[in-house]
Structure formats: structure tokens, C-alpha cells
Amino acid sequence: MLVRSLYKVFAGGHFEVFAGVVFVSTVGFHSSFFVLIWGALDQM
């Protein structure tokens, strides 16, 4: 479910907003995952 919504948000071009929301809502919990995703986005 999370992956599906992530794909929809990414395809919609609102990934930065989604990343911001995820960071605020799960700060310190999924920080490593967030950094991994952000790094991958940064390399594009």
C-alpha cells in the first residue's frame, strides 16, 4: 500500500511534498530509508 502510494506520488511529480510529509511524520524512525530515497532522487 505504501509502495503503491509512493509510486503514484512519484509519478504525479509531487515527490518532494511527499518526502517532506514523510520526514516530518516519521522523523528519526525511517530516517535511513528517507535518506536512501532522497539520495537516489538526488542522483537522477
What residue spans define the domains of the chain? 2-42
pLDDT confidence bin for 28, thresholds 50/70/90: low
Q: Please give the distance of CA 34 from its chain centroid, rounded to a whole number.
A: 6
pLDDT value for 6: 67
pTM for this one? Answer: 0.29
